[in-house]
Chains A and B, each alone.
Chain A
Amino acid sequence: MPLIPPSAPGAAQKDWRPRLLWASGALLLSFLLLVGRLYHLQILRGEEFRGRAEENFVKEIRTPADRGLFFDRNRKLLVDSRPSYDVTLTPYFCGRGCDEVLDRVAALVQMGPDEVDRARAQLRAARKLEVFRPFTVKVDIGREELDRFLANQTDLPGADVLPVPHRNYRYGSLGGHLLGYMNEVGPDELKDLNKGLSQSASPQGPYLLGDYVGRRGLERRFENELRGVDGKERVPVDAKGRLKADADSLIPEDQRLVPSVPGDNVILSLDWRLQEYAEKIFPATAGVVVAMDARTGFLLALVDRPAPDPNKMSGRITAAELAAIHSDPLQPELFRAIQQHYHPGSTFKALTTIAALEEGVFHPETSIFCPGHFSMGRATWRCDKESGHGWVDFEHALGASCDVFFYEAGAKLGADAIAKWARRCGLGAPTGFDVAGEIPGVIPDAAWHDAHIPGGYQRGMAVNLAIGQGDVNVTPMQQLVFYAALATGTIWRPQVVTRIEDPDGKVLQTFEPEARGRLEIGKSTREVVMKGLLAAVNQPFGTAYGSRVKEFTVAGKTGTAQVVKIGVHRVKSENLPYFERDHAWFAAFAPAEDPEIVVVVLNEHSGFGSSNAAPTAVGLIKKYMELKAQDEAEHAGAPVAPAPAAAPAKAGPAGGAGGA
């Protein structure tokens, strides 16, 4: 017998039936609800979720494109990328020990306190999935530091070295301003750059924080060409963003890799042999040497001192080093050739000559007696030669650089006439050079003086202008263009890039010589100027007679730009404090009969043009001639000469260049 009496079955079962029917109905409905929802998710929206699942696990790793290279005209490699190593730290893997690991890394690879602080701040800021993302704590460590790091890596959880190509400026600061440098893109800049990219339909992907971008010089000017198109590697990652190499099969093989396209190469018109030679012979602490092919407007050499090393500027320069550069009174960040202007000094006398003759205030045969000083009203101006030059004509006045002759001309011309001719010769406006940030210089007319000088324009101001003092200012590049115009009659837009080539050497873009205008002066005017410039170098009375050469004829003009007003007593410039010494100019071209090369030298705070600028210019011209002869000997029989030199100049030398 059962211990518990069974309950009566029949009646009870009848009682259950309606409730069981209800329950069955509810059961069916519940399952239909589930199936309905599944139908919605898997059938109706299945495609959408398939895509989102893929987004989840397919990570696109950027494979940065190799940046384009810089070559000189002879295909000498100037800038490339070298393999280098960055140290990274992944917060997740060092966990609570991150601070300690960072300290150890800092000691091993010699990080400055500011670098450590920066890394520490990034460590603190890492949130959520960011803790799985490695961030860079030190860029570009040296070979020795790499060895030290690798030897200690077991004690450095989370720290890693990543091979990252780094921009390599093979010649350091040589040509540094021109080539420019790269550094990290800023957050605001990022937005602008990417906006531009999205509008340009370029295949290049957007910039990301941490990317490097051409900051100065040609690196900046040709950023789009040099950058290339980044590739993509599609890899499977898990939910924490970690690479799952064994899950490769989840991504179809043909979708795993999109190769990067290297950037285009930039071919410069510079002849690096000339560049290096100029660097060697230029004695200046600060200054510019710039040489141009007179027939095309393409630069042959450009020395600009001082220049920071772009390798340094492109790495993570320390705050202290950057501060030192910023506070350096020599302003190493200034690209003097186009971003600084100077009084042209006596080199401006060529311009005054043109104005005087074209305006008819002087004739080619005009002679003036120089007693060593010039008076107008109550004011007196001293000549460079205190004892005076005696009777001088244009040839003598230009050659010996007599001030009084041009004081006279200036007084007769007035500021407006001088300014008019200066502008016609291409001064007072940017030359249109390839690198951004060019300043226009100052060509002051009467209105300018009225606006800028207390008391307004006085006639005496034109007297100063006539010898390139007063308020006239030109950049070395403008000076170069002006003297090239004197040599050939064409006012060039100075250029330094001749071609853009793709990585296989296919020419994508060729830059042709570009004339901004012609020097509209009479033949006789030109002859007078030429004669004066020849005299300066080739006549015993010439200021640059010491720099004459036998093999070919150099025409040129020295200049000394006063920085501080000459006091009662002349002081030898060696005895002046550096920043009060005069700037030395020399502008020249050769051969005078059929000019090929124009050179402008500006030696800051060095004293006289004849002794501190002319030897460099003439030395460079000599080197140019030597190299030309050498190349011709090598290429004897070879039909094609280097491209830019062979490019047809639109304008030949103007008129019959007057011989001495």
Chain B
Amino acid sequence: MAPDVSLAATPHRRLIAHFPWHVGFLVLTISALGVWNLASASRSAHAPVWISQSWWMGAGILVALGVALIDHRAFQRMAWVFYAVVLALLVLVHLKGRYVMGARRWLTFGPLNLQPSELAKIAVVLALAAFFAEDAERRREGYGLFGLIIPLGVTLLPAALILKQPDLGTALIVVAVGCTQLLFAKVRWVTLLILLVGALVGGAIAFRHLKDYQRNRIASFLNPEADAKGAGYHAQQSIIAIGSGQGTGKGWGQGTQTYLSFLPEQHTDFIFSVWAEEHGFLGCVLLLLLYFALLASAVDIAGAARDRFGHFVAIGVTSMLFWHVFINVGMVIGLLPVVGVTLPLMSYGGSSVVAIYAGMGLLANVGMRRFVN
């Protein structure tokens, strides 16, 4: 019908009508709570990070709108190019990256600091979606072991580069997102079983190659009380902060664990503890409800997607959001070991904010085209 929907120059009236406003509302609400929460978390710091976070949010909204307006089929074409560029950037990080606290995660372009691993999540989502869009159709009976070589490779290659930075959290997210997409592409039960066993064995081998601090974190997760001043310190202090929030919390700006720096990395990975300490169980349930609503909407969009590529993109973005929320909250409340995973829209960090907003833009993109043919 419409001759040219692939260009954003002429936004289609029907597209705007189908824009998933509820997703936008949820994203903006969580973002606002995130800024408000950061303002409390950074009381003790010299730089009020909530201001720069707001700027990043603004930038994120622009990116999301831009992404939403371009027909996602254009992304399908560009998926592999984008993937290749991101891979190149990941390699570049290893060569020219900036060291921050023993890890090489940042690239500096003039005034801009870029974290290619954040882009890698999106790149993998797009590349796999592009792959499955065409390939999955040919394999109606499901994927066997050989069929998975390419999608697994697409996932594990950037994950391995990220793991070497080292950034265990992001690598895990990339793998989790890739695997989720893979599951949605229909995998044979036998293959699934083999993969599961393989993952366990691989995990065991990987554990032996983990950095000491990473291994300590896992050990201290299994027994946090044993080393309350060492590796288990973060986890322990986080749980104290959360528990001490009790039913309704200590109130905004009243969190002692937050203000007196007992929570390390309280602006980023442990931001949920700040929220939980100051707003209590009620606040936590409210925030989780917002995330749940967002994720449910995202699943809804994936289900209603018009085409395979859109479907797999939506699934990828949804799983990215889900794994971020689940792993972050899980680790902060002591259900999972401490790995560096941010809480989307709540944690401070420009690259992360922009990446999440870009993902949301993709989601909206798919959502608003569900009736377009």
- Let me know if A30 is at the binding interface, CB within 8 A: yes
Q: Is the CB of A16 within 8 A of B261?
A: no
A19: chain B residues at CB < 8 Å are 183-184, 186
Taking the nearest CB of chain A, how far is it from the CB of B155, in angstroms?
Answer: 18
B186: chain A residues at CB < 8 Å are 15, 19
CA distance A39 to B244 in the complex (A): 12
Instruction: Take A20-B303, A49-B242, A49-B243 as given contacts and tell me if A34 and B329 are in contact as well, using a CB distance cutoff of 8 Å.
Output: yes
Chain B, 89-109, CB within 8 A of any chain A CB: none
Instruction: Take A37-B333, A49-B244, A56-B262 as given contacts and tell me if A16 and B326 are in contact as well, using a CB distance cutoff of 8 Å.
Output: no
A240: chain B residues at CB < 8 Å are 261
Name which residue of chain B comes closest to A15, CB basis.
B186
Q: Is the CB of A42 within 8 A of B247?
A: yes
Among candidates B259, B285, B295, B307, residue contacting A7 with C-beta atoms closer than 8 Å:
B307
- Let me know if A61 is at the binding interface, CB within 8 A: no
Instruction: Take A42-B246, A50-B244, A56-B260 as given contacts and tell me if A12 and B303 are in contact as well, using a CB distance cutoff of 8 Å.
Output: no
Among candidates A33, A42, A57, A247, residue contacting B242 with C-beta atoms closer than 8 Å:
A42
Segment with Cβ contacts to A, from B59-67, B143-151, B276-284, B351-359: B276-284
Among candidates A17, A45, A239, residue contacting B243 with C-beta atoms closer than 8 Å:
A45
Scan B296-308; emit 1 where CB is below 8 A from any A CB, else 0. 1001001111111
Q: Is the CB of B299 within 8 A of A23?
A: yes
Taking the nearest CB of chain A, how far is it from the CB of B181, in angstroms?
Answer: 11
- Let me know if B56 is at the binding interface, CB within 8 A: no
Among candidates A4, A13, A50, residue contacting B303 with C-beta atoms closer than 8 Å:
A13
- Let me know if B245 is at the binding interface, CB within 8 A: yes
Instruction: Take A42-B242, A49-B239, A244-B260 as given contacts and tell me if A27 and B299 are in contact as well, using a CB distance cutoff of 8 Å.
Output: yes
Name which residue of chain B comes closest to A237, CB basis.
B260
Q: Is the CB of B335 within 8 A of A30?
A: no
- Let me know if A118 is at the binding interface, CB within 8 A: no
Among candidates B259, B276, B299, B322, residue contacting A247 with C-beta atoms closer than 8 Å:
B259
Q: Is the CB of B260 within 8 A of A238?
A: yes
Name which residue of chain A comes closest to B372, CB basis.
A6
Taking the nearest CB of chain A, how far is it from the CB of B317, in angstroms?
Answer: 13
Among candidates B44, B307, B311, B326, residue contacting A30 with C-beta atoms closer than 8 Å:
B326
Name which residue of chain B comes closest to A33, CB basis.
B335
- Let me know if A24 is at the binding interface, CB within 8 A: yes
CA distance A38 to B240 in the complex (A): 12
- Let me know if B58 is at the binding interface, CB within 8 A: no
Scan A36-70; emit 1 where CB is below 8 A from any B CB, else 0. 01110111011111101110110000000000000
Q: Is the CB of B326 within 8 A of A2?
A: no
Instruction: Take A6-B307, A6-B373, A33-B335 as given contacts and tell me if A57 and B260 are in contact as well, using a CB distance cutoff of 8 Å.
Output: yes
Scan B255-287; emit 1 where CB is below 8 A from any A CB, else 0. 011011110100000000000110011001100
B322: chain A residues at CB < 8 Å are 27, 30
Q: Is the CB of A42 within 8 A of B6?
A: no
- Let me know if B126 is at the binding interface, CB within 8 A: no
Instruction: Take A1-B3, A31-B288 as given contacts and tell me if A6 and B242 are in contact as well, using a CB distance cutoff of 8 Å.
Output: no
Q: Is the CB of B243 within 8 A of A48?
A: yes
Q: Is the CB of B299 within 8 A of A34?
A: no
B264: chain A residues at CB < 8 Å are 239
Taking the nearest CB of chain B, how far is it from the CB of A146, in angstroms?
Answer: 33
Among candidates A20, A236, A244, residue contacting B299 with C-beta atoms closer than 8 Å:
A20
Q: Is the CB of B311 within 8 A of A16?
A: yes
- Let me know if B22 is at the binding interface, CB within 8 A: no
Instruction: Take A4-B77, A56-B260, A250-B256 as given contacts and tell me if A24 and B334 are in contact as well, using a CB distance cutoff of 8 Å.
Output: no
Name which residue of chain B comes closest to A244, CB basis.
B260
Q: Is the CB of A57 within 8 A of B76?
A: no
B335: chain A residues at CB < 8 Å are 33-34, 37
Among candidates B229, B240, B333, residue contacting A53 with C-beta atoms closer than 8 Å:
B240
Interface centre among A2, A28, A52 (most CB of B within 10 A): A2
- Let me know if B73 is at the binding interface, CB within 8 A: yes
CA distance A237 to B257 in the complex (A): 11
Taking the nearest CB of chain A, how far is it from the CB of B3, in angstroms?
Answer: 7
Q: Is the CB of A16 within 8 A of B6?
A: no
CA distance A13 to B307 in the complex (A): 8
A45: chain B residues at CB < 8 Å are 243
Q: Is the CB of A24 within 8 A of B184?
A: no
Q: Is the CB of A42 within 8 A of B260?
A: no
Taking the nearest CB of chain A, how far is it from the CB of B168, in angstroms?
Answer: 21
Chain A, 443-483, CB within 8 A of any chain B CB: none
- Let me know if A3 is at the binding interface, CB within 8 A: yes
Name which residue of chain A comes closest to B74, CB basis.
A3
Q: Is the CB of B257 within 8 A of A56?
A: yes
Chain A, 72-110, CB within 8 A of any chain B CB: none
A48: chain B residues at CB < 8 Å are 243
Q: Is the CB of A38 within 8 A of B242?
A: yes
- Let me know if B133 is at the binding interface, CB within 8 A: yes
Among candidates A1, A16, A23, A52, residue contacting B244 with C-beta atoms closer than 8 Å:
A52
- Let me know if A639 is at the binding interface, CB within 8 A: no
Q: Is the CB of A42 within 8 A of B276?
A: yes
CA distance A240 to B71 in the complex (A): 53
- Let me know if B137 is at the binding interface, CB within 8 A: yes
- Let me know if B11 is at the binding interface, CB within 8 A: no
B345: chain A residues at CB < 8 Å are none
CA distance A572 to B245 in the complex (A): 90
Chain B, 291-327, CB within 8 A of any chain A CB: 291-292, 295-296, 299, 302-309, 311, 322, 326
Q: Is the CB of B284 within 8 A of A53?
A: no
A128: chain B residues at CB < 8 Å are 229
B299: chain A residues at CB < 8 Å are 20, 23-24, 27
CA distance A272 to B305 in the complex (A): 103
CA distance A69 to B296 in the complex (A): 76
Q: Is the CB of A27 within 8 A of B295?
A: yes
Q: Is the CB of A47 within 8 A of B246?
A: yes
Q: Is the CB of B280 within 8 A of A239?
A: no
CA distance A237 to B243 in the complex (A): 20
Q: Is the CB of B285 within 8 A of A35?
A: yes
- Let me know if A567 is at the binding interface, CB within 8 A: no
- Let me know if B198 is at the binding interface, CB within 8 A: no
A236: chain B residues at CB < 8 Å are 256, 260
- Let me know if B153 is at the binding interface, CB within 8 A: no
Scan A290-325; emit 1 where CB is below 8 A from any B CB, else 0. 000000000000000000000000000000000000
CA distance A19 to B281 in the complex (A): 32
Interface centre among B71, B246, B330 (most CB of A within 10 A): B246
Taking the nearest CB of chain A, how far is it from the CB of B238, in angstroms?
Answer: 10
- Let me know if B241 is at the binding interface, CB within 8 A: yes
A42: chain B residues at CB < 8 Å are 242-243, 245-247, 276, 280-281, 284
A239: chain B residues at CB < 8 Å are 237, 260-262, 264
Taking the nearest CB of chain B, how far is it from the CB of A505, in angstroms?
Answer: 44
B330: chain A residues at CB < 8 Å are 34
- Let me know if A9 is at the binding interface, CB within 8 A: yes
CA distance A436 to B164 in the complex (A): 71
Q: Is the CB of B77 within 8 A of A3?
A: yes
CA distance A250 to B251 in the complex (A): 12
Taking the nearest CB of chain B, how far is it from the CB of A18, in angstroms?
Answer: 10
B284: chain A residues at CB < 8 Å are 35, 38, 42
Chain A residues within CB distance 8 Å of chain B: 1-4, 6-7, 9, 12-13, 15-17, 19-20, 23-24, 27-28, 30-31, 33-35, 37-39, 41-43, 45-50, 52-54, 56-57, 128-129, 236-240, 244, 247, 250
Query: Can you name 6 A-B pairs with beta carbons within 8 Å?
Result: A3-B77, A9-B307, A12-B311, A16-B184, A38-B285, A53-B277
Given A7-B307, A12-B311, 4 extra CB contacts under 8 A: A34-B329, A38-B242, A52-B243, A237-B260
